[in-house]
Each structure stands twice: as C-alpha cells, then as structure tokens.
Amino acid sequence: MVYSFKEIFLTLQGEGGQAGRVAVFARFAGCNLWSGREQDRATAACTFCDTDFVGTDGEGGGKFDTPEAAVAALDAHWGQIDPAHKSVVFTGGEPLLQLDAPLIAAVKSAGYFIAVESNGTLRAPIGIDWLCISPKGENRLHQTSGQELKLVWPQDRVDPAEFARMDFERFYLQPKDPLDQNPAMRAAHTQAVIDYCLAHPQWRMSVQTHKVVGVR
C-alpha cells in the first residue's frame, strides 16, 4: 500500500473529546464522499466540507511506500517532544480508505496514541485508540461504534436521535461552519447546537477551537 498524505503537521486537536491535546495531524488525500473539486460540491454525497484534501502537495505531504516511511514522517513532526505523549490524528479526506492494519501496527509500535476522524461509511480496523465518527447526511454508517460520535449540525434530513443509541462513549454536536463564513449563519448554527444540547443532555457541544484561536 502506498499512503498518500495531503499534509502532515503538529498542532492541538481542536475538536471533540480530545480537544486541546498536542498531536501530529496526518491528513490523507482523497475522500469517498466528495472529489474535493468545487465544481462537484453541490452534487456530492457530502457538501459542507471545510477541508482541502486533494493531492499530496501540502506542507509535509507526500506519498510513502511503506508503513515505516509514514512513521518516519510522523516522527519528524513530533520531533524532540516527550515521546511518552506521542499522539497522532489520522484525518483527511477519508482516512479509512488508506489506514490499514500494517500502518496501525507500525504507528502503535512507534509509541503513538492513535486517533482517527472518519465519516463512518467504512469499517475501521482494530487498534485505534480514539475513533471519532462524523456521519454525513443520508450516507449509511457501516461503523457504528467508537469513542465519539460527532455530528456536524444542522444537517438536512438528519436527526441526532438516529445515532443516540449507537455504541459510542460520547455524543457531540458541532456547529456547521458555513462555507461563505456568513456571521449570521454561523451564529444560527451555533445557537441550534446550544438549544439541542440544552434539551438533550446526552449530547455535548464541540466547538472547532482551532478556528477560534487561529491554529491549524
């Protein structure tokens, strides 16, 4: 397997139950719900993506022929910080198109806590320490267990109650960041999440804190 990464960078996890934690972010290229081209967005299976995951030309991106080569790239970004806290977030694009058992084994033996951000349409391999599933519209979930379910909200034709009995430790609603950055729309989405969480205490609010404070 050749692993294709759009970008690799060190930052603080901005979202969900691990927010605030330092991690190497490894963003795989490609997704099964959108080509990543703006001209395809309106007809895609996922229409509100805030991320460029096309190609391998981002900072730290590239193609890695072996799990060991990919781990070396992660280690280069972790650098000299305390190896006892090594942590990686595999995201994308859709990481479960490429994240396989050999890569998980190599990353684990290098000492990493492994987190994954996935749309849930593909089954996850075993060995992930923190699996975040973020359902997209009416696309059927094939992965219905993990550490957190993080639903971007509001979404057309999606009711959080559909997910509330699945096998996750935490349930989050995250305000949908409007693509046009419209402040009134952003405020409305944020208020919708607040209102839902106030009335449904199983659900917690996830704010994209990296966007608030201006880190990647």
Ligand X SMILES: C[S@@+](CC[C@H](N)C(=O)[O-])C[C@H]1O[C@@H](n2cnc3c(N)ncnc32)[C@H](O)[C@@H]1O
Q: Give contact residues for ligand SF4 (rule: CB under 6 A).
A: 31, 33-34, 46, 49, 51, 53, 92-94, 119, 136
User: What pairs with residue 87 in β-bridges?
Assistant: 113
The nearest distance, CB 204 to ligand X, in angstroms, is: 14
AA letter at 195:
D
Residue 89 neighbours by CB under 8 Å, 6+ apart: 13, 18, 23, 24, 25, 26, 115, 116, 117
Active site residues: 25, 31, 46, 49-51, 117, 210
Q: By CB under 6 A, is residue 98 in contact with ligand X? A: no
E-state strands within 95-144:
113-118, 130-133
157 appears as a binding residue in the annotation: no
Question: Which of 152, 173, 193, 197 lies at the binding interface for ligand X (CB under 6 A)?
Answer: 152
Q: By CB under 6 A, is residue 174 in contact with ligand 2KA? A: no
* Cβ proximity to ligand SF4, 8 vs 110, nearer residue: 8
Phi first, then psi: give them for residue 138, nearest 5 degrees.
-95, 15
User: Interface residues for ligand 2KA in 114-173 (CB under 6 A)?
Assistant: 117
For residues 196 and 26, give the distance between their C-alpha atoms in angstroms, rounded to a whole number. Answer: 32
Tell me if residue 142 falls in helix, strand or coil.
coil
Q: Which does 210 bind (CB under 5 to 8 A by kind): ligand 2KA, ligand SF4, ligand X, none?
A: ligand 2KA
For residues 212 and 128, give the distance between their C-alpha atoms in angstroms, rounded to a whole number. Answer: 28
Q: Which residues bind ligand X (CB under 6 A)?
A: 31, 48-51, 91-92, 94, 117-119, 134, 150, 152, 174, 176-177, 208
